[in-house]
Amino acid sequence: MTHRVAIIGGDGIGPEVTAEALKVIHAAGVDLETTDFDLGGQRYLRDGVVLTDEILAELRSYDAILLGAVGTPDVPPGIIERGLLLRMRFELDLYINQRPFSGTAPGGTVAHEFVVIRENTEGPYVGEGGALRRGTLHEVATQGSVNTRMGVERCIRYAFELAAKGTRKHVTLVHKTNVLTFAGDLWQRTFDIVAADYPEIGTAYNHVDAACIYFVQDPHRYDVIVTDNLFGDILTDLGGAVSGGIGLASSANLNPARTGPSMFEPSHGSAPDIAGTGTANPTAAILSAALMLDFLGETEAADRVRAACADPVTGGTTQIGDAIAARLAG
C-alpha cells in the first residue's frame, strides 16, 4: 500500500534532515507518494504566505505530514510558529504531542524508555490574552491558559491507553497544582476520574519543577508522563538533553481520532547557525519518520528503523543517514 505524505522541509536544517528521513524510509522498503510543500520562514519572506486556507485544505487530503523544521531569524517571533505550526496543530486537531525518550540515569548504563504525552491544542498556546497601553510605562500584558474538560480528558485518556499497551503500566501527571489551582484542579480531578477506569495502571503526580530534577537524576521512575502544552514543551527539551541530545528527540503530533492527517517532526528547530554545513544530526527526523510509519500501520518497518538507529553513528548529516539506511538494506 502506498501512503500519501505531504513533506514540509521548511527552513534551515529542516530540508537536510528530512531528506535523510526519506532516504531511510525508502531503505526500509516502505512506499511513499510524497508531495513537497514550500512553507516556512523563507517562503514567507518571498511572498508573504504562511499558510492559506487552500493549502491547509490540500494538506488535509494526505495520510500524514512529515515536517523538518520551520523558522528563520529574519522573521519576527510568532509569525511562523503561530501561523504555520500551531495553526496546523489546532486546525488538524493534533491534540497529542507524543515524545519518546531513552534516558540513562547518571552513572547508569542501561537506557530506559519513557514517553511524554503533551497536550497539544490548549494551554497558553491558544493565544488568549492581550496587551493594553503597549509601549507605555503602564503597559499591561496578560496571557491566559485555556484548559477544557474535553481537551484535558482526551489527552489523559490517550496516556492511559498507551500505558495499558506497555509493560510497565504507569502514568505520571505533571503539573503545578500547588500554584495553578484552577487549571491544576481540573487536570488532577480529570486524571483521577480516568485512572479509575484503569485499575491495572499505577499512577503518580509530580510538580513540574520536581519533575525537572527527576528527569536528570532519576528518569527510571517514569513510564508515561502526561502534562499540559507549556509544561510539555519545556519538559521535552529537557528530556532530549538528558537522553542523548536534542538531535535524537523525535515527536509525533497526533490526531488519534484520525479525522485528518497527523504530523511528524523532530523536536528540534531549524538551527540556522549550522544550516548548510552538513553537520545536523538527522536521527531525530529519522525517528520521527519511524513514529509516522507506526501511525500508518507500518509497525514492522518502524521497529526496524528504530533498531537501525540504536547504535549511534558519528559523522555529518548524509553520512549518518547513509549509515542508518545501509543497516536496513544489509
- Out of 38, 197, 209, 218, which one is annotated catalytic? 209
Binding residue (CB under 6 A) for ligand IPM from 4, 26, 55, 81? 81
Which of 177/236 has CB closer to Mn ion? 236
Query: Any contact of residue 85 with ligand IPM (CB under 6 A)?
Result: yes
Query: Any contact of residue 11 with ligand IPM (CB under 6 A)?
Result: no
Min separation Cβ 158 and Mn ion, Å: 19
| Annotated catalytic residue 165 | no
3-state SS of the chain? CCEEEEEEEECCCHHHHHHHHHHHHHHCCCCEEEEECCCCHHHHHHHCCCCCHHHHHHHCCCCEEEEEECCCCCCCCCHHHHHHHHHHHHHCCCCEEEEEEEECCCCCCCCEEEEEEEECCCEHHHCCEEEECCCCCCCEEEECCECCHHHHHHHHHHHHHHHHHCCCCEEEEEECCCCCHHHHHHHHHHHHHHHCCCCCCEEEEEEHHHHHHHHHHCHHHCCEEEECHHHHHHHHHHHHHHCCCHHHCCCEEECCCCCCCEEECCCCCCCCCCCCCCCCCCHHHHHHHHHHHHHCCCHHHHHHHHHHHHCCCCCCHHHHHHHHHHHHHC
Count residues contacting Mn ion (CB under 5 A)? 1
Query: Any contact of residue 119 with ligand IPM (CB under 6 A)?
Result: no
- Torsional sign, CA 42, 43, 49, 53: negative
Min separation Cβ 237 and Mn ion, Å: 6
| Annotated catalytic residue 214 | no
Which of 154/268 has CB closer to Mn ion? 268
Which of 10/244 has CB closer to ligand IPM? 10
Q: How far apart are CA 324 and CA 310, in angstroms?
A: 9
Query: Any contact of residue 233 with ligand IPM (CB under 6 A)?
Result: yes
Q: How far apart are CA 183 and CA 219, in angstroms?
A: 26
Query: Any contact of residue 91 with ligand IPM (CB under 6 A)?
Result: no
- What is the per-residue binding string for ligand IPM in 167-206, x denoting contact by CB under 6 A? ----------------------------------------
Tell me, what amino acid is at 275? A
| Annotated catalytic residue 158 | no
Of all residues in the shown chain, the one whose CB is closest to ligand IPM is 81
Count residues contacting ligand IPM (CB under 6 A)? 4
| Annotated catalytic residue 209 | yes
Query: Any contact of residue 228 with ligand IPM (CB under 6 A)?
Result: no
Min separation Cβ 233 and ligand IPM, Å: 4
Which of 85/156 has CB closer to ligand IPM? 85
Work out what residue 294 binds among ligand IPM, Mn ion, none; the CB cut-off runs from 5 to 8 Å by kind.
none
- Out of 62, 125, 158, 222, which one is annotated catalytic? 125
Query: Any contact of residue 233 with Mn ion (CB under 5 A)?
Result: yes
Query: Any contact of residue 298 with Mn ion (CB under 5 A)?
Result: no
- Out of 11, 44, 63, 176, which one is annotated catalytic? 176
| Annotated catalytic residue 169 | no
Contact 204, 170 (CB under 8 A): yes
Work out what residue 161 binds among ligand IPM, Mn ion, none; the CB cut-off runs from 5 to 8 Å by kind.
none
Q: How far apart are CA 230 and CA 221, in angstroms?
A: 22
For the annotated catalytic residues, the residue numbers are 125, 176, 209, 233, 237
Binding site for ligand IPM (CB under 6 A): 81, 85, 233, 267
Binding site for Mn ion (CB under 5 A): 233
